[in-house]
């Protein structure tokens, strides 16, 4: 019987042994050592010009099989006590090695299939930089400059008969800016299309109240709760709540 063997077909001696066992449909737990050893040695004889490091692994396994075969041929005692002293089956260690190798080989085959499947999937590069241009930061001032807002404050103070002088002792805590912010947000609910900036100030209001209102507007603009727009140059500034705030409250 002739054999044509290529080393690339087997990854090692255990791989060759599994091939022989599967080919002859042998029960791995009851390996006929004489038969497997003969077939294994026949394969080894056909291997010519192999790398010595690789060939040495096959030769070591061949020696192991011959050793197991020799122990299997030794006469067995008939008594139960003497049979127990003979020790474990000489094939046991080889069987365990083959079972472990088969498990690793199956896992490797599964991972290889997964790799092939993954190679058929093409992903698109996804990073925040690709979408930043689609979500430009919203400008709550809508093109309005601070000078424009200050000019509106001056006009409110003039209507109230006061100058732009701001006393140094006035602080946010003392003038209760947070409370004014809540009042303005509630007031703007009545003006879904926007409220003129000038109407935020009471013409008869005191200078402190006007300044408090102005600071509250600045805080609301800074936090993005309201927006300020000016449709034309030197035109009236319109203040309105942001649409997302209206949606959340609804």
Do 234 and 167 belong to one domain? yes
To which H or E segment does residue 227 belong?
Answer: strand 226-229
pLDDT tens readout for residues 115-163: 888 888 777 777 777 776 677 656 666 667 777 777 777 777 776 665 4
How many domains are contained in the chain?
2
How far is residue 17's CA from residue 81's CA, in Å, rounded to a whole number? Answer: 34
Last residue of a domain, one of 104, 119, 134: 119
The answer to the question of residue 52 being in a domain is yes
pLDDT of residue 212: 86
H-only helix segments in the chain: 13-23, 33-46, 52-73, 80-85, 92-119, 146-159, 172-175, 177-188, 207-223, 243-249
Do 172 and 115 belong to one domain? no
Is the confidence at residue 244, as pLDDT, over 70?
A: no
Residue 171: helix, strand or coil by DSSP? coil
Is the confidence at residue 38, as pLDDT, over 70?
A: yes
Q: Cα dist. 72→25, 90, 92 in Å?
A: 21, 7, 12
pLDDT band at residue 2 using 50, 70 and 90 as cut-offs: very low
The answer to the question of residue 243 being in a domain is yes
Its domain, for residue 203, covers 146-249
Overall average pLDDT of the 172-190 stretch: 80
The answer to the question of residue 126 being in a domain is no
pLDDT of residue 82: 52
Question: How confident is the prediction for the chain on average, in pLDDT?
Answer: 75
Do 27 and 79 belong to one domain? yes
DSSP state of 231: S
The answer to the question of residue 39 being in a domain is yes
The answer to the question of residue 176 being in a domain is yes
Do 115 and 152 belong to one domain? no
Overall average pLDDT of the 87-93 stretch: 82
**Between 142 and 14, the higher pLDDT residue:** 14
pLDDT band at residue 243 using 50, 70 and 90 as cut-offs: low
Is the confidence at residue 51, as pLDDT, over 80?
A: no
Do 155 and 244 belong to one domain? yes
> What is the CATH number for 219?
1.10.10.580
The answer to the question of residue 195 being in a domain is yes
Do 94 and 156 belong to one domain? no
Do 108 and 15 belong to one domain? yes
Overall average pLDDT of the 21-39 stretch: 87
Is the confidence at residue 222, as pLDDT, over 50?
A: yes
How far is residue 215's CA from residue 221's CA, in Å, rounded to a whole number? Answer: 10
pLDDT band at residue 174 using 50, 70 and 90 as cut-offs: low
Do 115 and 60 belong to one domain? yes
pLDDT of residue 8: 46
Instruction: Flag whether the pTM goes above 0.75.
Output: no
Is the confidence at residue 90, as pLDDT, over 70?
A: yes
């Amino acid at each position: 019987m002739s054999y044509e063997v290529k080393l690339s077909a087997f990854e090692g001696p255990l791989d060759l042994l599994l091939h022989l066992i599967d080919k002859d449909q042998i029960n791995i737990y009851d390996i006929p050592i004489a038969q497997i050893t003969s077939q294994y040695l026949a394969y080894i004889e056909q291997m010519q010009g192999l790398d010595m490091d690789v060939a040495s692994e096959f030769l070591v396994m061949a020696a192991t099989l011959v050793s197991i075969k020799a122990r299997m041929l030794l006469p067995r005692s008939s008594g139960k006590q003497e049979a127990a002293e003979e020790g474990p089956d000489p094939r046991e260690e080889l069987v365990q090695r083959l079972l472990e190798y088969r498990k690793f080989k199956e896992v490797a085959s599964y991972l290889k299939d997964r790799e092939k499947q993954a190679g058929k999937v093409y992903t698109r590069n996804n990073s925040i930089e690709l979408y930043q241009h689609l979500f430009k930061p919203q400008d709550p001032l809508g093109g309005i400059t601070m000078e424009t807002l200050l000019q509106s404050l001056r006009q409110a103070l003039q209507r109230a008969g006061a100058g732009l002088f701001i006393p140094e002792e006035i602080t946010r805590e003392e003038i209760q800016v947070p409370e004014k912010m809540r009042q303005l947000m509630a007031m703007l609910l009545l003006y879904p299309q926007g409220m003129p900036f000038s109407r935020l100030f009471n013409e008869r209001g005191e200078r402190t109240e006007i300044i408090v209102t102005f600071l509250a507007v600045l805080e609301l603009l800074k936090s993005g709760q309201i927006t300020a727009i000016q449709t034309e140059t030197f035109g009236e500034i319109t203040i309105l709540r942001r649409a997302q705030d209206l949606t959340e409250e609804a």
